[in-house]
Amino acid sequence: MDLLAGVISVVVCLIGAGLAIAMGAVIPGIERKVQARIQQRIGPPILTPGFWSWLKFAYKWPIKPWATIPRFYESIIALGVVIVIFALLITLPPFWGVLGVASILGIAGLLKLEELIYVLAGSVSQSLLSVPFLRHDLAKGGTKLGFRREYFEQQAAFRALKMAAICSIPLYIALAVPFAVAKSPFIADVISIQNPAFFLGGILPLPSKPIFLTVPGFIATIVYFAGYVMLLNEKPFNIVKPKVDLIEGVFLEYAAKYRTYMYMLIHIFTFVLSSIFVTLFLGIPLDPTKPALLALHLALTLPLPVLKAVLAAFSPVLTFRQLYPASMGFTALAAFSLVLALIL
Amino acid sequence: MTEEQPRESVIVEKELPLGPVHPALLEPFRVRFFVNDEIVEDCEVILSMPHRGIERILEGLPVERALLITERVCGICSNSHAWNSVRVIEKGLNIEVPPRALFIRVIAQELQRIASHLIFIGHAMEVVGHETFAMRAFLLREEYMDMLYFIGGNRVHPAVPVIGGVRPRCEISDSLKRVILETLERSERKLRNYVGRVVADPLVMGRLTGVGYLSKEDAIRLHAVGPTARASGVEWDWRMEMFEYKPFTYDYVILYEGDNKARVIARALEIFECIKIVRQALKDLPEGPVVNRDWSPQRMKFTDSYNEAPRGELYHSYSLDDYGKLRHYKIRTPTITSIHSVEFAAKGDHVTDAVVTIASCDPCLACCNRVEIIDEKSGRRRQFTSMIEVIKKYGWRR
C-alpha cells in the first residue's frame, strides 16, 4: 500500500513537473501576444516565444560561454531549472506530508536560491561584448586608459545582488501573509483554512474563504504581484537586464542549448510563481489527481502573466533611484498586510 | 570630455564600456562610462567608427552631381543636406530661386524635421524602456514619411531641392495640397494625444526629469546646437536668420530646465511649430515656376551656408573651379558639436540614465564622423573634416 502511495506520489510529481514545462512553453507566447495587441501589432504565434524558441536554441551549434569557471557557469543554469521545478513540486499535495519542506521556509528558501543563481551566473561570466579594446580605444582617440573594465554580466550580478537584498523583500513578506492568516508555516494548513472541501474529496472542491478576498490578502496580492515582476526581472523592475546598457544582464553569454535552459528557467519560473500564488492566496492547489481542479488551477495561473505583460507594455525601465523608494513602499504595504493578517 | 573642461579629481572604480556594437546604440560608436558603483563619474564618447569619406568622394565632381551625394550624408535629415548644399552655390553665384520653390523647400524641410523628431522621441522612449510609446512614435512618423513620398516620390531621400529651385516632380498640386492639409489635421490630433500621454506618464517623466542636466553656460561652452541647446535656454535657431523662413509666423521653442525631459519636450513642441509652418506655406503657396535654370557652373570662391537641420546647426561649404567642379567640400553636422555637451551632462547620473542622456542629443553618427590624426610623440591631435586634407598632409595611401 505504501509502495502504491509512493508510486502515485512520484507520478503526481512527474505530471506536475510536466505541466510546469508545458505551461512555461505557452505562457511567454500569451504575454507577447498581449503586449503586441497593446502596441497595435499582431505579435508572434503563441508557441514561438516559448516552445519553438526552446527548440530552436537547443539545436543551434553549441557555443561555449566565455566564463571564468565554464563548467560551473554552464551547469548553474540547468540547476536553476531544477530549482524552479522543485519550488513548484513542494506545493503539490504529495509533498505536504514531508515535514518542513512544504512550508513557507521551503518556498522562500528555493526562491532565494533562485535569486542567488542570477548573482552567481553573472559573477563568473565574461561576455565578448565588454572585453577590453585597449588598442582600439587608443586608435580611435580614447584618452582615458588603465581603468578596470567591468563585464556586463558582473555589473548585472551587482544589480542582482541589490535586487535580492532589497527589492525582493516585499515578495517574501507578502508570501508570509497566507501563513500568518493560517497561523501555521505549512502549506497544508493554508489550504485547509481556505478550502476545507479539498480534504473531503470530490471532483471540484472550491475554496470557501480564499485569502485573496480578505483585506490583508488583497493588499498582499498587490505586493506579491510587484514582487513577482521584480523576481522575474520584468519591466519596470528589469534593472538586472535592461537592453539599454547591460543587454541581457547575467544571461548575456548563454548561447545554444544554454540559452534554451535560460529560457526554460525564466518561462517556467513565471508559471511557478503564478501557481504558488493560486495555491496560497486562492486555496486551489495544483493537484493532478483532480482534473477539474487542475484545469481551474491552470486557468487561474494566467492572469498574473497577462497583468505582467500589460504592466511591461506601459512601463519604462526603472533605475535604483526609483526602485529603492518603490521597494520601501511595497515593504511597508506588505508589513501592514502582515500585521492585519495577524490581528484579524 | 574635452580638455578645456575643469577636471575634478574623483577616484573611479571601474569602466563600463558600451559599443561599438550594442543594442542601445543605433549606430556604431563607443561610450565609455567611468563609474563608481552605478554612478557615472566621467564619460567618453568615441566616434570615427563608420567614416565614409563623403568629402573625398565629392572632390572634383560636377556641382550638379554633388546633390546625389550630399543628400545621402544622412538618411534622416537628407533634405537638410541637399538644401544646404544648393544654398551654398545659390549664395556664391547669386542664383535667384522662385518664391514657390522656396516654399516647397520649406514644406519638405519641416515635414522631415517632424519625422526626425518623431524618430528621436521613439528612440528616447526605447532607451527609457517604454516600448509602447516608442512604437507609437514610429507609427505616427509613417504619415509624415508618406507626405514626403507624395511630394518627392521617395520616403527617405525625397530629393526636393535642385540648384535654382526644386525638382519639377515636386510641384504641389491643389489636390496634393488638400491631402497634406487633411493628413496634418489628423496627425496633429494624434500627436497632441500622444505627447499628452507621454508627459502625463509619471514613470517616464520620473526617468527623464532632473537627469542629464546641462546648464545654459555649459551648453554654450560645449557648443550644443539645435533643440539640445534650446532645451538649456540657448535662444538660437538658424531659422531666425534664414530668409526662407521670414514669411512665416511661428514660435521658437526655448526651455530652461536643461534636463532630458526638456530635450524630449523641446522636440515634441517643435513638431507643432513645424506643422504651423507647413500649414502657412501651403495656404500662401505662391504661383509661378518651381525652378530657375538660368545659371551655369563657373568659378566660385569658397562659400559657406548654415541651415537649421532637425538636430541643429548644419554647415556646408565649398568652392568651384573654372570647370564648375567641387573643391574643398566641408560638412559639419550638428551631432559632432552636440555630442560633447551630453557627454558632459551624463556625469553624476546612474549608468542606465546616462545612456538616455547620450541619446538625448539625438546623435546621428554616420553623418558626423571625420578623420582624426594623433601625433604620438607630441600628443597633438587634429580633426580633419575631409580626406583630401589627410592626403595632402600625409600623402596617398600612407
Chain B's closest residue to A310, CA to CA, is B132
Q: What is the H or E stretch that residue B42 is in?
A: strand B39-46
Chain A's closest residue to B350, CA to CA, is A319
Question: What's the CATH code of the domain at B83?
Answer: 1.10.645.10
Tell me the nearest-neighbour CA distance from B256 into chain A, angstroms.
24
| pLDDT computed for residue B397 by the predictor | 46
Q: How far is CA A335 from the centre of its chain?
A: 22
Question: Does position A119 have pLDDT exceeding 80, yes or no?
Answer: yes
- Mean pLDDT, all residues of chain A: 87
Q: Does B51 contact A at CB distance below 8 Å?
A: no
CB contact under 8 A, A147 and B48: no
The amino acid that residue A139 corresponds to is A
Give the single-character DSSP code of A147. P
Give 10-residue mean pLDDT values along chain B (398 residues). 52 77 77 86 80 80 84 87 92 91 93 93 91 91 92 88 89 90 92 92 90 89 89 89 89 90 93 93 90 88 90 90 87 85 87 88 76 60 54 52
CB contact under 8 A, B129 and A244: yes
Give the single-character DSSP code of B201. -
Chain A residues with CB within 8 Å of chain B CB? 35, 38-41, 129-130, 132-133, 137, 140-144, 147-150, 152, 155, 158-159, 235-236, 238-239, 242-245, 247, 312-322
Point out the residue among B15, B131, B356 whose CB comes nearest to the CB of A150.
B15
Residue B37 has φ and ψ, to the nearest 5°, of 55, -100
List the grid coordinates of B207. 526617468
Which long-range contacts (C-beta less than 8 Å, at least 24 apart) are formed by A144-147? A144/B15, A144/B32, A144/B34, A144/B42, A144/B44, A147/B12, A147/B14, A147/B15, A147/B34
| pLDDT computed for residue B273 by the predictor | 92
B381, B371 contact by CB (below 8 A): no
Residue B37: inside a domain, yes or no? no
- Residues in B closer than 8 angstroms to A244, CB to CB, are 23-24, 127-129, 352, 355-356
| pLDDT computed for residue B1 by the predictor | 42
Residue range of the domain that includes B295: 57-359
| pLDDT computed for residue B9 by the predictor | 59
Residues 6+ apart with CB under 8 A from A99: none
CB contact under 8 A, A149 and B15: yes
Q: How many CB atoms lie within 10 A of CB A68?
A: 12
Q: How confident is the model at residue A6 (pLDDT cuts 50, 70, 90)?
A: confident
Residue B39: inside a domain, yes or no? no
Residue B396: inside a domain, yes or no? no
List the grid coordinates of A123. 559573477
Residue B370: inside a domain, yes or no? no
Grid cell 513620398 in the structure block, residue: B149
Once rounded to an integer, what is the mean pLDDT over residues A56-64?
86
**Each residue of B31-80: pLDDT tens digit?**
888 888 888 888 888 877 777 778 878 888 888 888 788 888 888 888 99
- Residues in A closer than 8 angstroms to B35, CB to CB, are 150
A9 vs A336, higher pLDDT: A336
Q: Does B125 contact A at CB distance below 8 Å?
A: yes
Compute CA distances A220 → A179, A284, A329, A337, B322, whole Å.
Answer: 12, 17, 13, 6, 82
**Each residue of B271-308: pLDDT tens digit?**
999 999 999 999 999 988 888 888 888 899 989 899 99
Give the single-character DSSP code of B325. B
List the grid coordinates of A314. 506601459
List the grid coordinates of B108. 519638405
Residue (of B59, B129, B121) closest to B350 by Cα position: B129
Strand order in the sheet with B39-46: B14-18, B30-36, B39-46
A264 vs A70, higher pLDDT: A264
Residue B379: inside a domain, yes or no? no
Residue (of B230, B208, B232) closest to B218 by Cα position: B232
Count helices and strands (H / E) in chain B. Answer: 13, 10
Residue B251 has φ and ψ, to the nearest 5°, of -105, 150
Chain A's closest residue to B356, CA to CA, is A244
Return d(Cα A158, Cα B242) in angstroms, integer. Answer: 52
Residue range of the domain that includes A132: 2-343
Helix, strand, or coil (residue A161): helix
Return d(Cα A75, Cα B351) in angstroms, integer. Answer: 31
Chain A interface mutation, best of B15, B365, B373, highest count of A Cβ atoms under 10 Å: B15
B342 phi-psi bin (left φ>0, alpha ψ -120 to 50, beta other): alpha
Question: Does position A267 have pLDDT exceeding 90, yes or no?
Answer: yes
Residue B386: inside a domain, yes or no? no
Please state the domain count of chain B: 1
CB contact under 8 A, A155 and B136: no
Question: Does position A272 have pLDDT exceeding 70, yes or no?
Answer: yes
Residue A145 CB-density burial (10 A; 0-12 exposed, 13-18 middle, 19+ buried)? exposed
